[in-house]
Structure 1
Amino acid sequence: MSAPDAGTRDRLVSIVTPAFRAASTIEATIRSVIDQSYPHWEMLIADDCSPDDTRDVVARWSERDPRVRLIAMPRNGGPAAARNGAIAAAQGRWLAFLDADDLWLPKKLETQLAFHRSAGAKISFTAFRRIAADGSGEGHLIRVPSTLDYRGLLANTAIATSTVIVDCDATGPVVMKKTYYDDFACWLDILRPGGVAVGLNEDLMRYRVMAASVSRNKRNSAYQVWLAYRRVEKLGLLSSMRYFAAYALRGLRKYRRF
């Protein structure tokens, strides 16, 4: 596929969707993208060698709408490898992230992209609500701070991956590390040199709570955050303890009710 011209690239949002065993949810996720009021997008779904029909479902949608593109990963490598596979194929200035079981509301891209352009930030993210695995039972609105810098993000749970847009002109190449929270590590990499992520308190995403979600086990999730501080960010013990305490407190407040 030839590279887009400068004007097309400036408008184009490349949507990064890693998928594994997502046959039961990916169709609804694709529909939520096709229903966007903003038309200039490509959806790059990286199937991580799913043992179910995920790849076939995506291929059928790709035939209906060529903006939906299947990235067939050659081997199972986990979420970071799948995201990197999609990112490598991206042609837009803007990277948006959408997991294979989450949903966008119809004006998500239009509203957030206008907000992001006006803010001139590296990353933007939005408020959202959780839903049950079957798509029912909308939860309370989970609001977000107006800005987060590197240190602020270390102490916060605010950025939900499926709400994120990254301006590649501001960040340079985006690469996911092979670590448990590859998304969290990536946002930290982007913000470490300076700049901020800006939060938009509009309800634009639905986060599906799946029993088998990678972050379902809260004890293990907390342990992985601690490892991110110590092994990925190389923080000292006291700094790690301080950030972890703030992170845990915000997490408890955020998830104390559905």
Structure 2
Amino acid sequence: MAEVSIITPVYNSSAFLQETIQSVLNQTFQDWEWLITDDCSTDNSVEILRKINDPRIKVNVGEKNGGAGHARNLSLQKAAGRFITFLDADDYWEPNFLEEMVTFMKRENAELAYSNYSRCDENLKPKIEDFRADKEVTFGNLLKTCRLSLLSSMYDSRRVGIEFFPEGSKREDHVMWLNLLKKIPVGKPLPKTMAKYRMHASSISRRKTNIMKDQYLVYKDYMKFSTLKSMYYTANWAFNGFLKYSKLFN
């Protein structure tokens, strides 16, 4: 049984998939399994994945296109590792990511941890300043802004169980983290930059005005807050989202 389960959804990711694969194979920590679910890609992503000769990498092809949350859930159903972490098919880990995170989790007796990550263009060149893991994360402060990024976070499934993604929400990662933080008091920061996030021009995470309604439903439908309370947290999320992406490099 591997100590770490890596969860990856794939959909038409052939342009960047080779770099992502290499970033996992280059990890200094090698006790992992990688559960990849292809969400009915129409490019050659599956062909690329099936060429990898490594028994730790387990590729599943979904029967229908159900979105990233659905693909992650299919992989999570098969996850056997103690530590759960996520890597999208176009993102990148530095070679020390898993080693540093697992060591930190054990040393700090943490149930959940997250690190800094670089915010890059499609060529992995810095685009805006690094996102910094500089605060402990609680259910209360995660309501106002989602500080946890899938590619730079890890949780201990032995202590908190497997947390699945809600299917149907376009903000499934935020809902998942909130549900997880209902179970534990705090997520701990590791202030080291060990991952790279590709900021695509069309990335849904940056089209804030287009997903205000989806974010409102995080609070109204999934957290079961009142209308007024849901509007309050949506406004906080929008303001903090603006600050998150406002400082561009010259």
Secondary structure in 2 matching 1:228: helix
TM-score, length of structure 1 as denominator length: 0.90
Give 5+ residue unaligned stretches, structure 2: none
Quote how far apart the aligned CAs of 1:199 are: 1.6
Look up the match of 1:18: 9
Whether 1:125 aligns to 2:114 is yes
Tell me what 2:73 maps to: 84
Q: CA deviation at 1:138?
A: 4.8
Q: Could you tell me how far apart the structure 2 residues matched to 1:194 and 1:238 are?
A: 26
Deviates further, 113-122 or 101-110? 113-122
SS in 1 for 2:6: strand
Q: After TM superposition, where is structure 1 displaced by more than 4 Å over at least 4 residues in a row?
A: none
| Structure 1 residue ranges without an equivalent (≥5) | none
Instruction: List per-residue Cα deviations over 1:222-241 (Å, max 9, x = no partner).
Output: 33211111111111233223
Matches of 2:246 and 2:25, distance apart in 1: 33
Q: Does structure 1 residue 174 correspond to structure 2 residue 163?
A: yes
1:232 matched residue in structure 2:
222
Rounded Cα–Cα distance in structure 2 between residues aligned with 1:105 and 1:222: 33
How far is 1:127 from its partner? 0.9
Secondary structure (helix, strand or coil) at the match of 1:173 reads: coil
Write the letter of the residue equivalent to 1:164: S
Deviation per CA, 1:152-191: give whole Å up to 9, x if none: 1111231111111111012113211112111111111111
Assess if the C-alpha contact under 8 Å between 2:128 and 2:245 holds in 1. Answer: no
Residues in 2 aligned to 1:125 and 1:154: alpha-carbon distance in whole angstroms? 17
Task: Report the counterpart of residue 195 of structure 2 in structure 1.
Answer: 205
Aligned equivalent of 1:242, options 226, 232, 248: 232
2:37 to 46, 49, 68: 46
- Pick the aligned partner of 1:33 from 12, 20, 24: 24
C-alpha separation in 2, matches of 1:238 and 1:75:
37
Aligned residue number for residue 87 of structure 2: 98
Alpha carbon RMSD of aligned pairs, Å?
1.6
Distance 1:173 1:207 in 2: 24
* Contact 1:16 1:86 (C-alpha < 8 Å) held by counterparts: yes
Query: Does the Cα contact within 8 Å between 1:122 and 1:195 map onto a contact in 2?
Result: no
Q: TM-score, normalised by structure 2?
A: 0.93
Cα deviation digits, residues 134-164 of structure 1 (max 9, x gap): 3234531211233111111111231111111
1:156 aligns with 2:145: yes
Is residue 2:236 matched to residue 1:256?
A: no
The one-letter amino acid of 1:173's match is I
* Contact 1:17-1:45 within 8 A present in 2 as well: yes
Residues 107-158 of structure 1 deviation map (CA, whole Å, 9 limit, x = unaligned): 1111111111222232211111111113234531211233111111111231
Aligned residues: 247
* Alignment-derived partner of residue 146 in structure 1: 135
Q: Is the 8 A contact 2:36 2:60 kept in 1?
A: yes
**Counterpart contact for 1:121–1:195, Cα < 8 Å:** no
- How far, CA to CA, are the matches of 1:48 and 1:165 in structure 2? 23
- The sequence identity of aligned pairs, in percent, is 30
Cα distance, 1:210–1:92 mapped onto 2, change above 3 Å: same
Secondary structure, counterpart of 1:89 in structure 2: coil
C-alpha separation in 2, matches of 1:159 and 1:173: 17
Q: Is the 8 A contact 1:127 1:205 kept in 2?
A: yes
Distance, in Å, in 2 between the alignment partners of 1:203 and 1:223 is 32
